[in-house]
Each structure stands twice: as structure tokens, then as C-alpha cells.
Structure 1
């Protein structure tokens, strides 16, 4: 089988676009609303477990509160982010991250979520689209909705996960919702590189919004320092995490 990987120059770096700039853009509050009512089962796919909380934590809280069957597929626990000189051995770091994920899900009110750990090696090009799609097709079988990173997020692992999830959704007949994470860093309002016509808002009730805020804060504290390295030039800054405190989450359909 031919291994295909997503290869693009990595544009993420620096402080990025501020949350104030995004909030000043009226269209961000005018995208069509997407209601999760009636969703009985959903698979949430994440390159790293915390990505699911950052990009779709409010949606997970809503679905869990409604009693939907939920599965979280973590492609990697982030082993590649454990470098030389760290006081914690890689195996222990992996256990710590997994434990933090379970606790964050509990904060979201989603402690009954089934977690699947693919334990793929982290890092750009570590896995191919076809290889990953085969694993995700199995994970998405018999689920109504597949929720995955946006294929255009410009983060290598996110793009690969998004492309593989699209294939898995096509093979299983699941509806695909794509959540961005790094878009808020590299893009700007009205950015022509973003398919805004496909964007929808998931409006978060106060309880879901509060649960997500608490889960994000917990992960940032538990996984301190909050590192997100790609080619050793990208970190998850406070400017970036401010994007995850909104009244709604955006998905592409």
C-alpha cells in the first residue's frame, strides 16, 4: 500500500492572531448554528487527547449531558514531545498525559466516554494517511458522527488526522464534523485560505462552556509547561489558549 503523508511548510509560530481580533469580527457570531440535538453516537478523533478538549470540549460536554454514546480516539499521547533532559521518563510522561485526559473528561462531565489509544508515534510524517484511515475506519464503525481535526489546520499531525478521518467517514457513512485548533493562530478574519462557507457554530450553554473552561485550565496546569512543538518552533501560548474560551465552537461541515 502506498503511504501518503501531508507535507506542507509549517506556518505556525509566534504569537499569532489575537482573540481580540477574532472577537471584533462580526461574522464569527453570524455563522449558521449547528445543533447536536439528536446525535446518538459520536467518535471524537484527536492527534493528542488535549486537542479534543481545546477544539471540541464544549461539544463533548453537550453530547455527554444528552446521553450520547461517545468514543475518544487518541492517535498519540505525545511521546515525541518528551525530549532529552526531562526529569520524567517518557513512559511515565505518557501515563501522566493519559491520566490527565481521563480527569479532563470527568471535568467535562464525560467520564463515561470510551477512550481508544492508537499509540502512534508523534511527529510530522510519523504515520501515513492510508495507514491511519484503516485504524480510524474500524474505530468509527457503527457511529453516527465522526468529529476530527480540520484537514486544513496547517499542523502536520492535524492535517493527517483530518484526511484519514475523512476517508474513515466516507467508508462508514458517518457524518463528518471538522474542528480547527491552529487556524486561530495563523489565519485572520475573512482569510481567503479558510472555507468560511462551510463553517458552523456550536453554541455552548453556560454549563458546557464552564465545563470546557475548567477542563482547559486543568490540562494547562497538569501538563505544565503546555508544550506543542513542531520542528521545535511552536508552543501553546496564552494568546493561543484564549481562543478556547468562547461562547461557541466552530466546525466545518
Structure 2
């Protein structure tokens, strides 16, 4: 997820910056903006015979953005392919406790543990090992990889093109372009949007937003899966930095529904 980034490249103004604590979940819940979004069922998003392809910029993004959806799709017997773009080695800069080599070994294992906690069936995982923080640098390589792995009948999910993190936005742009070229449906997933946006924010395409409602058991599976990412949810004792995913961030991403843009 990589919240160390505090700028968005190629923007005239830094209006989607990831800094501070962001918009609180209490602020989001103080209005009916999210609770009144139209609902969409997983079986509608991914019909019988289709495969869901989740393109995750970093290990944990697939669970943060679509963990509940993944659990529901598994229960429906849908096939799932997760394309892990990076290994998340830039999450702890200059950390003696979490050097890049340790992160490269640990974070992919955390994803595997998380998928087991979700009780996923019919899931395949492809790792591209592109540079974490590469953003536009890896965009062309990602596009070529997507062309090689996507198939007719796929429904592709990726982070929103304007999510605020350069890697998330590069993934969104690459997947949008490749899915369009292959005539495949693409569903965008906001992750960092809930940090910088506000309930009345006109930059968010609310007309495209839909809720995937999670029952209590499904939400519990998602929360259990997120606890597998110990490198991200525990403070760094060697630097004194807070967790990469502190409670106020997780609160925004463990609602009883997930929001997608269709």
C-alpha cells in the first residue's frame, strides 16, 4: 500500500496528496454519501464462466481493496488470478528492521497467508517483481505483462487511475489501456482515495461508484486476512515510525462494504 508517498507526479497541483491522517472514517460516516451508493453483487461483476483478475500494486492492496469481494467470489466458485506488480520492498525506507531484502521475502509470504485466511479456492498468483515506487517507470513493462496474462472472458480489477499513489495510478492507467485494447471489462478500486478525498469531493466519480456489501462473516474473513500483513500493521521499532497501516487507515478499509468504480 506504501503510504510514504506524499506527492502525485504529472499533476498541476498536489491535490491528492497522501499526508497526515487524512479524512477520518467518522467524517465519511457523518454523511450518507457512501451508505446510499447503489449496490452491485459479485456474481454480477464476475458472471458465471468469467475469471476475476486482480492487479495489485503492492502486497496487501488486493486484500485492502477487494478482500471481501475475493471471499465472495471464492464461495461462488469463480476462478481468480492475482497479478502482484511489485514485492513491496519500499515500504520501510532506511529501516534496519525491515531492509528491502527482508521485505522482498516477507511481503509475498504475507499475501499467501492472507489468501489462506480468506479460504480462497481456484486462485492463482503471478508475481512481476517490478520496482516498488517505480510508477511510470514500470508502466510499459506492466502493460506487456498484462497482455501476456489476460484472456478472453476476464474481468479485470485494478487500483483507480487517480488514487493518489503513483504506483496505484500507474497500475490504473496500464490496466485501463490494456483492458480497453483487449475489449475486457475493467473495474477500478479506490484505496488511498479515502485518505485525501472528502464525502462531497467532486474529483471522485460518484456516478460510477458501487457498493459490494459484505455480511458479518465475510468482513471477519477480510479482517483476519489483513492481520497476516504484520510488516505493515506493526510499528517499526528500529526507526520509531508508526505502522504503515495504522488503525485509522485500516478503519477506512474495513467497512462492511467495498466500493468499486464501474
* Partner SS, residue 98 of structure 1: helix
The 8 Å contact of residues 130 and 138 in structure 2, kept in 1 or not, is answered as: no
Q: Deviations over 1:97-156 (max 9, x none)?
A: 111110000111115411110000111546243332121122222342001001110110
Residue range with higher mean Cα deviation, 204-213 or 60-69:
204-213
Runs of at least 5 residues in structure 2 that lack an aligned partner in the other structure: 1-7
Q: Deviations over 1:58-98 (max 9, x none)?
A: 00111111111101001001122354452455333212111
Aligned to 1:243: 252
Aligned to 1:7: 10
How far the C-alpha of 1:204 sits from its partner, in A, is: 1.2
The 8 Å contact of residues 102 and 111 in structure 1, kept in 2 or not, is answered as: no
For 2:216 and 2:231, locate their aligned partners in 1 and report how far apart those are by CA, in whole Å: 24
The 8 Å contact of residues 64 and 110 in structure 1, kept in 2 or not, is answered as: yes
For 2:159 and 2:251, locate their aligned partners in 1 and report how far apart those are by CA, in whole Å: 19
Aligned to 1:58: 68
**Pairing partner for 1:129 from 139, 156, 167:** 139
The 8 Å contact of residues 151 and 161 in structure 1, kept in 2 or not, is answered as: yes
Instruction: Work out whether 1:149 is the aligned partner of 2:146.
Output: no
Count of matched residue positions in the alignment of Structure 1 and Structure 2:
244
For 1:247 and 1:85, locate their aligned partners in 2 and report how far apart those are by CA, in whole Å: 34
* Partner SS, residue 31 of structure 1: coil
Could you say what the CA RMSD is over the residues aligned between the two structures, in angstroms? 2.4
Change (3 A) 1:134 1:86: same
For 2:141 and 2:123, locate their aligned partners in 1 and report how far apart those are by CA, in whole Å: 25
Runs of at least 5 residues in structure 1 that lack an aligned partner in the other structure: none
The 8 Å contact of residues 50 and 101 in structure 1, kept in 2 or not, is answered as: yes
Residue range with higher mean Cα deviation, 207-216 or 77-86:
77-86
Structure 1-normalised TM-score?
Answer: 0.88
* Partner SS, residue 100 of structure 1: helix
Q: How does 1:152-191 map to 2 (within 5 A)?
A: 152-191=162-201
Aligned to 2:114: 104
The 8 Å contact of residues 72 and 115 in structure 1, kept in 2 or not, is answered as: yes
How far the C-alpha of 1:19 sits from its partner, in A, is: 0.6
Instruction: Work out whether 1:205 is the aligned partner of 2:215.
Output: yes
Q: Deviations over 1:31-73 (max 9, x none)?
A: 1111111353110001002011001100011111111110100
